Amino acid sequence: MIFNFQLRVNWDQIARKRNQLAIKDNARENSKRMPYEYTVGEKILIVSKHYERTSKLSAPTKGPYVIVKINKNGTVVIERNQYHETINMRRIRPFKEINENNDE
């Protein structure tokens, strides 16, 4: 059955509720992240996007490359194959060198 009456929707309240939920979800997601500050001269790995990988067994990262400059807008400049490339910080991971000096 269809009734003939007007429906009043409080769009401001709905928008406020969505905004509060987004803030709460972001806080929950970011709570387990470990902060990391990149420095100039540090070595990093570039994480390949899924469509850049040629096969299942191809390496998920490329590098290591050296950071030349850190920009304030969330990007870093790296030295890659004799030229400088600007890349977003979300696509890089710190490179951890393993020392295999067995001085026994």
Given pLDDT bands bounded at 50, 70 and 90, which one contains residue 104? low
CA angle 40, 43, 44 (to 5 degrees): 110
Per-residue H/E/C for 14-32: HHHHHHHHHHHHHHHHHCC
**Which residue, 63, 62, 87, is CA-closest to 74?**
87
Q: What is the pLDDT of residues 26-58, one digit of tens each?
A: 999 989 888 889 999 999 999 998 888 888 888
Q: Write the CATH number of the domain with boundaries 43-94.
A: 2.30.30
For a pLDDT cut of 90, what percent of the chain falls above it? 62
CA distances from 73 to 39, 52, 77, 89 (A): 15, 25, 12, 10
What confidence score (pLDDT) does residue 54 get?
A: 85
Instruction: Give the three-state DSSP class for 80.
Output: strand
Model confidence at 5, pLDDT cuts 50, 70, 90, reads: confident
Residues 12-24 as b/e (b if ≥16 CB within 10 A, e otherwise) read eeeeeeeeeeeee
Residue 87 has a pLDDT of: 95
Which three-class secondary structure state does DSSP give residue 11?
helix
Residue 64: asked if its preceding bond is cis (omega within 30°), the reply is yes
| Domain residue spans of the chain | 43-94
pLDDT of 55 = 87
Is residue 78 pLDDT above 80, yes or no? yes
- Predicted local confidence at residue 103, as pLDDT: 57
